[in-house]
Structure 1
Amino acid sequence: MPKLPKKLRNLFKKKKKGVDAADYEQMVERHQVEEVLKDPTKLAFRVQLAHGSPTTNVSNFANIAQLYDRLGTVLNVSESSILFCTINNYAVDMECLIGGTINMDDFIYVHIAGKTKEVTVNKSEAAIGITITDNGNGKALVKRVKPESVASKHKEIMPGDHIHSINGESMVGSRHYEVAKVLKSLPVGVNFKVVLIEPRKEFDQIAPRSQLGKTTAASNLARTLSGRVSLRLRRDGNAAVTDMPSDFDLRATKEVDDLLENYLGIRDSEMATSIVEVYKEKSSHMADFAESLKTKFLVDLISENEKLLYSLWSKLGEIKRSNPTLADLSQKQNFEDESD
């Protein structure tokens, strides 16, 4: 039998000396929380292929790239075949796309590549009418197709499709804003070809979660912490266990994501969360906020768009002022930097 950690051995001694059972359980739980705060990779989350597979657990990842690599291993699929992941919904629902935060009881569904299709589109207007997101691991995706747009005339273009290439130029490895830039640069009136890969859609192997998967200490711990903390993933950084998002965080992240879509034609909840974090650190002066965004993201679409910067500052300030119980955000220094 493996030797118990020293802290747990001490707790066990206290229990033998008559410590109340409830107090003992709380001490053990506090020890578990301390350990996972030191190493978030100890946590495990339930995962399943969206088109059907037994449930398993994924752990030992500290960022988005490592998560996709681990998903390929535990699900026995090629990492390059994974298009995206949804949370708590096996359908191709891009509103459930995994972002930068995973709650402890979230269930991850993995969508892999299905049919490849080539579509010829006439760019009759400046914008073709799609919102682009990405999976954080080198694949740009159609988030939504706007009604009555150029893209809406082509029923083959659907939410969840991976934009593989445009006019023969590979988009694999490109961020959403880079793909949006390519589409925007195409002259109005020309025909262009886009190769799309749609997610696999068979659902015949889906089974109730409670009947599938193996319980582990790590997955039990994740559910013990459910509703108390979240796992924060950064595209190029390390994972961190943070407090559950506040009402301000949830509202602000959605509003920022909406602004990214309105100005840039992209949606990225992970980027939106990071922008809110920057605001929490730099909410005293707009110049500091803008400079931090430019340094953090190095995205010319954001740093050169003064209207977007002003809109972000104004909207976040409006949300802050609308919550009279909100503490001074500028005093919060517990949000780690991220570089996209």
Structure 2
Amino acid sequence: MSLFKKKSSKPAPPPRPEEGPRPPNGRKLPTDEIPQSAPVQKPQLVFHCQQAHGSPVGIISGFSNVKELYQKISACYDFPPEDILYCTLNTHKVDMSKLLGGQIGLEDFIFAHRKGTPKEVEVIKSDESLGLTITDNGAGYAFIKRIKENSIIYNLPHIQVGDHIEKLNNINVVGRRHYEVAKMLKEIPKDSVFSIRLIEPMKSGFGNIGPKSSGAKSGKKQSYGSGKETLRFKANGKASIENEHDDRAKIGIDKINALLESFMGINDLDLATQIWELSVSKTNSMQLAEAIDDSELEEFGFTDDFIIELWGVITDARSGRIN
């Protein structure tokens, strides 16, 4: 007599549609035991980061705006997010051409520049223009992006590109937008003396120090970043992946940014991009002015002359007349 039962060749009956799947013993599974397929989750974008003055490489993800990015970086290295002045992409140097603005390439390497030495400088405003271009980090810190050669500030060695402007005549400007700080500097009377309190980025040796102009432009091949697809931060707090702008749009945005600098003393690629996008489908400067007045950009108070200048570079870029 065999100790093993002969395996039946008769196949198990298929489950009825209304009953759901059956376990091997044929018992009907309760509804709450029926296996459910897991929801499909989108892969989370992951970026590499490092402190610009030197640190181990960190891994960050799960942010949708600049403030959240700073919080992720500060949590990674265990310091307050308020310590971050700004970030550069693919270089640890104070290179203003590599500033992180409203978007990050999916393969970009992020370097965080932290607060370093504070300094206070007295300035004699001997000319109407100080020669400064101001930008901000998107989280309340305005800083110097460019210093015009042979200007008042250019001849003051203690004021450098990349310095954060903390106070003007003992008035705290932390939390103000860059155009507000630029306006305050512009309104200082000629031939008067004012004080400016600055905080320079933390440095390691001489590796981070850039030139007095717009920042170092290295001839070396960039070692990080593809520049093809970017994570763009939007005004509604969300972020989305977008392809790089076409050549004409890029030229137009750069020209708009140059006008912002010459008219207002600020540099803001994200603002220039917003203006370019508002101009889409507009056929004259009046329509552009109305679109700006109906948007959050109304607070800038652009003059009619400035709108006309904007429209000129937009139409030139659209037609391919500039490159």
TM range (shorter): 0.7 to 0.9
Look up the match of 1:274: 274
RMSD: 2.6
Look up the match of 1:264: 264
Look up the match of 1:46: 48
Larger Rg: 2
- 2:197 is matched with which residue: 195, 198, 201? 195
Query: After superposition, where does 1:181-220 map in structure 2 within 5 Å?
Result: 181-202=183-204
Q: Deviation digits for residues 37-75 of structure 1, max 9, x if unmatched?
A: xxxxx2121111000111112211111221122221122
Look up the match of 2:218: none
Look up the match of 2:234: 234
Q: Are 1:279 and 1:289, in contact at CA under 8 Å, matched by a contact in 2?
A: yes
Within 2, Cα distance between the matches of 1:183 and 1:307?
22
1:201 is matched by which residue type in structure 2?
K
Deviation at 1:300, TM superposition (A): 4.2
Q: Deviation digits for residues 219-264 of structure 1, max 9, x if unmatched?
A: xxxx9x9665321113553111222222123212211111110111
Q: Are 2:249 and 2:317, in contact at CA under 8 Å, matched by a contact in 1?
A: no
Look up the match of 1:175: 177
Look up the match of 2:159: 157
**Structure 1 residues not aligned, in runs of 5+:** 8-31, 37-41, 207-222, 324-340
Look up the match of 2:304: 306
Within 2, Cα distance between the matches of 1:62 and 1:297?
20
Look up the match of 2:292: 293
Within 2, Cα distance between the matches of 1:304 and 1:205?
40
Deviation at 1:285, TM superposition (A): 3.6
Q: Deviation digits for residues 70-105 of structure 1, max 9, x if unmatched?
A: 221122221111000001111001111111121110
Q: Are 1:52 and 1:203, in contact at CA under 8 Å, matched by a contact in 2?
A: no
Within 1, Cα distance between the matches of 2:37 and 2:245?
34
Within 1, Cα distance between the matches of 2:49 and 2:255?
29
Deviation at 1:295, TM superposition (A): 3.0
Within 2, Cα distance between the matches of 1:93 and 1:227?
17
Within 1, Cα distance between the matches of 2:37 and 2:76?
28
2:319 is matched by which residue type in structure 1?
R
Q: Deviation digits for residues 106-148 of structure 1, max 9, x if unmatched?
A: 1110000000000000011111111101111100010111111
Deviation at 1:4, TM superposition (A): 7.7
1:99 aligns to what SS in structure 2? coil
Within 2, Cα distance between the matches of 1:59 and 1:154?
40
Within 2, Cα distance between the matches of 1:263 and 1:4?
58
CA distance change for structure 1 residues 151 and 4 in 2, over 3 Å: closer, same or farther? farther
Within 1, Cα distance between the matches of 2:207 and 2:77?
14
Look up the match of 2:220: none
Q: Deviation digits for residues 9-40 of structure 1, max 9, x if unmatched?
A: xxxxxxxxxxxxxxxxxxxxxxx8xx36xxxx
Look up the match of 1:125: 127
Q: Deviation digits for residues 259-304 of structure 1, max 9, x if unmatched?
A: 1101111001111111122122x43343232222233234544x33
2:283 aligns to what SS in structure 1? coil
2:294 aligns to what SS in structure 1? helix
Look up the match of 2:254: 254
1:321 is matched by which residue type in structure 2?
S
Within 1, Cα distance between the matches of 2:298 and 2:157?
32
- Larger helix proportion of the pair: 1
Q: Which sits farther off after the overlay, 161-170 or 181-190?
A: 181-190
Within 2, Cα distance between the matches of 1:204 and 1:52?
12
Look up the match of 1:212: none
Structure 2 length-normalised TM: 0.78
CA distance change for structure 1 residues 81 and 181 in 2, over 3 Å: closer, same or farther? same
1:251 is matched by which residue type in structure 2?
I
Query: After superposition, where does 1:38-117 map in structure 2 within 5 Å?
Result: 42-117=44-119
Look up the match of 1:143: 145
Deviation at 1:306, TM superposition (A): 1.5
Q: Are 2:90 and 2:98, in contact at CA under 8 Å, matched by a contact in 1?
A: yes
2:117 aligns to what SS in structure 1? strand
1:312 is matched by which residue type in structure 2?
L
Within 1, Cα distance between the matches of 2:37 and 2:60?
24
Q: Are 1:52 and 1:204, in contact at CA under 8 Å, matched by a contact in 2?
A: no
Q: Deviation digits for residues 174-201 of structure 1, max 9, x if unmatched?
A: 1110001111111111100000000001
1:92 aligns to what SS in structure 2? coil
State the number of aligned residues: 272
Q: Which sits farther off after the overlay, 62-71 or 102-111?
A: 62-71
Query: Equivalent pairs: percent with the same residue?
Result: 35
Look up the match of 2:23: none
1:83 is matched by which residue type in structure 2?
L
- 1:319 is matched with which residue: 300, 317, 320? 317
CA distance change for structure 1 residues 97 and 284 in 2, over 3 Å: closer, same or farther? same
Q: Are 1:161 and 1:196, in contact at CA under 8 Å, matched by a contact in 2?
A: yes
**Structure 2 residues not aligned, in runs of 5+:** 1-35, 209-223
